[in-house]
Amino acid sequence: MSANVKTDFAPEQETDTYIIVAAYNEECTIFQIINKLRSYYSNVVVVDDGLGDEV
């Protein structure tokens, strides 16, 4: 999963949109990705796959 997120839309947060992120062994990058998404969307849900990493 890449930390690059499309950023060419309005700076206001989307409140009617939910972003669902499936986390599969993403302990090293998930924090950056979620923070970037939360700057544009107020509703970000991370689904942990249950593996042994610290997601």
- Give the pLDDT of residue 10: 52
pLDDT of 51 reads: 67
Other CB atoms closer than 10 Å to residue 24's CB: what's the count?
13
Query: What pTM was computed for the model?
Result: 0.60
In the chain, where are the structural domains located? Answer: 17-48
DSSP string, the chain: --S-----S-SSPEEEEEEEEEESS-TTTHHHHHHHHHTTEEEEEEEE---SS--
**Sequential pLDDT tens for the chain (55 residues):** 455 555 555 557 778 899 999 887 777 888 899 999 999 999 999 988 776 656 5
Q: What is the pLDDT of residue 1?
A: 47
pLDDT at 35: 92
